[in-house]
Structure 1
Amino acid sequence: MEDTVQLIALNNPIKLIGKVFTGNYAEASLYVTAVQNELTAAQIAFIPFKICGIYYDDPQVIPAAEQRSFQGVVSEGNVDLSSTSLSAIDMAGTFLYTKVTGDPMQAIMKGYGDLFAYIQTHQTQLKSNAGYQILTFAEGQVVTEIYMEILT
């Protein structure tokens, strides 16, 4: 339900490290693994069991082979990425936010359903259609957080 949606301001940015991939969103775990391997090879620390994805295209409209997404990990503080092919995104601003625990695919469907119901009910204007997802694996559970930036 849309009552799980909150309006939040991220004044302290969440640091995302990764890169843009073009291809089927269903392959996201492979993209994240590639980012983790590159960071490990470069001896750059990241928060274990906390991954991210920014999904730029509507998978119901854009063919799987053309879907663009930023995939990676969450980090604390600034890191030197000059020896890698990776980039950093400081996620800050005003967002609609929801958090769902459980199977990631079901959580994503529920989370976006709640967000879009809220957007329609409250006539909220998004800054972009990109959905930011952060998944945390802890104590045998997966927590999916979804953020959508709004115009302020």
Structure 2
Amino acid sequence: MIADRDLAGPIRSTRSPEEQRAFHFAGAFLLPASIVQQRITESLNLHGYLPVKADYGMSVSAIMRRARELGVISAQRYRSLSIQLSSQGWRTNEPVEVADERPLLLRQALHRVYGRQAVARASHVVGVAPAWIHRWTHDERTADTTATTGNVIDLSAARRRSRR
């Protein structure tokens, strides 16, 4: 009931309602309605979506979907843009690269909350290996990855491999 309270109508889709709620939440979280209404119009061409992608890190397809959900563009316009997107080959290779994000404030917040030896203290309180906290804060002192369990996936390397 909480997740659906702002919906204009029931979710009608072949996908599960839970998955649709997750997409709706992610869209609202990553690209607020106020931004969509300011930057996207019914007449905005496909290339006009690229600056929005650069600023918010979402795919053009996801931005178009968000605009359609909010009623900023019509279903017909969404379909037209989707056809253009496919014909440009952007479904698999959009022309704007989005830089990897860096957690600029996480290290600062840890030091403010835990003081000296912030990583060790946070590790103890949260129950996460110090090596993971070093990774999350992009701390270059992280030399020991054997303390972690599971495999670490380097997304930037995976992205580079998929482009070849």
Does TM, scored on the shorter chain, surpass 0.5?
no
Structure having the larger proportion of residues in strand: 1
TM-score normalized by the length of structure 1:
0.24
Greater Rg, structure 1 or structure 2? 2
Higher helix fraction: Structure 1 or Structure 2? 2
Q: Which has the higher contact order (CA 8 A, sep 6+)?
A: 1
Q: TM-score, normalised by structure 2?
A: 0.22
